[in-house]
Structure 1
Amino acid sequence: MEALRLIEISRHALAQSRSAPEIVAEAWQIQALAQAIGSRLAMSGPAEVRGEARGLGEIGGRGCGVLDHPMVRSGGVRATQLTSVSDPQAALIGLNVLLGEVGIALVGVACATDDEGLYWQCIETIDTADESSDRVRGMLRRLAEHEPDRPPETVRGRAGPAGPVAEMGPAAGAV
């Protein structure tokens, strides 16, 4: 399945998650997706982003180390369905938005829980999502350096109505 489609499926699944275990399971799914996209781009993406992509794959792997969680196993690891990243820039913008959304969802879980273990798990996963987002933004900057005609707003994922973020849906511009 194409990266943009998996990102959109993940955004929908995260938005539908209501309980803390569902949100945490989706966070793991999203980190696995970040790892898969990073690994794919490291092998066959544009040359200027391969180093950062390798780092994204490594960070994503640290963030989804508990993939034997029952919530994840019941539906399988969504990222294993990744077959291509046909538009690296659009995929990275979408992934960056998704990482921001999962961070916000995890803050909500961390603030609402009395379980110290869950709290720290959320904090660690938020840090991992933030680190992944830094890598993604680095790759977007590198892509922009090699495309001087592209407006700088697309690098930050805040393009106007005609930009790639508008295609991701109404919440896509929120980072």
Structure 2
Amino acid sequence: MGGADIPERMAEVWQAQALAQAIGSRLAVSGPPELRGEALGLTELAGRGCGVLDPPELDPGDLRAAQLTELDDARQTLLCLGGLLVEVGIALVGMASAAADETTYWQCMEAIDAADESRDRVLEMLRKLAAREEVLPEPTEDSPTGV
């Protein structure tokens, strides 16, 4: 990874953390009740991930997190976010290894921690969704309401 790529990659990492923060915020407000505590934690952790990185110079319309309008399928959103956070962690390890200065190295290390902890929150929310689905009764043909 070349040194010239680092600012662009840092901007992408910042955008991913901002998206995680937006998803956490949305789920904390309007997601399934059993996810709200973990979602609030995700919002805080992802905010920390943004805070340790220098914010990229973006026009407000280019900020991907600002384009989030709805989360129809919390499970699918969390699966995709978890994958994104894994990619962020891998990219940050590469950037830390190639860092030309100590400041960039430590920014990367702190952002790795935030991404890892954010992913832990995502995994916990996925576990809670799976447990919720196990508790819901399967619709049967005999019951008029499907329960």
- In the TM superposition, residue 48 of structure 1 has moved relative to its aligned partner by 1.0
* Gapped regions of structure 1 (runs ≥ 5): 1-17, 150-175
Instruction: Confirm or deny that 1:110 pairs with 2:96.
Output: yes
- In the TM superposition, residue 61 of structure 1 has moved relative to its aligned partner by 1.2
Question: What do you get for the CA RMSD once the two structures are aligned?
Answer: 1.8
TM-score, length-normalised on structure 1?
0.70
Task: Tell me which amino acid in the other structure corresponds to 2:94.
Answer: G
- Residues in 2 aligned to 1:124 and 1:75: alpha-carbon distance in whole angstroms: 27
- Choose the corresponding residue for 1:69, options 15, 33, 56: 56
8 Å CA contact retained: 1:42, 1:53: yes
Instruction: Confirm or deny that 1:58 pairs with 2:44.
Output: yes
- Choose the corresponding residue for 2:67, options 61, 70, 81: 81
Instruction: Confirm or deny that 1:91 pairs with 2:77.
Output: yes
TM-score, length-normalised on structure 2?
0.83
* Gapped regions of structure 2 (runs ≥ 5): 136-147
Q: State which structure, 1 or 2, has the greater radius of gyration over its C-alpha atoms.
A: 2
Instruction: Confirm or deny that 1:100 pairs with 2:106.
Output: no
Task: Tell me which amino acid in the other structure corresponds to 2:81.
Answer: L
* Equivalent position of 1:165 in the other structure: none
- Residues in 2 aligned to 1:69 and 1:85: alpha-carbon distance in whole angstroms: 25
Q: Give the secondary-structure state (helix, strand or coil) at the position aligned to 2:104.
A: helix
- Give the number of equivalent residue pairs: 131
Task: Tell me which amino acid in the other structure corresponds to 1:123.
Answer: M
- In the TM superposition, residue 67 of structure 1 has moved relative to its aligned partner by 5.8
Q: Give the secondary-structure state (helix, strand or coil) at the position aligned to 2:134.
A: coil
Map Cα deviations across residues 78-114 of structure 1 (whole Å, 9 max, x no partner): 1011110110000000000000001101111111122
Instruction: Confirm or deny that 1:124 pairs with 2:110.
Output: yes
Q: What is the aligned-residue identity percentage? A: 59
Q: Aligned pair in 2 of structure 1 residues 41, 74: CA closer, same or farther (>3 Å)?
A: closer
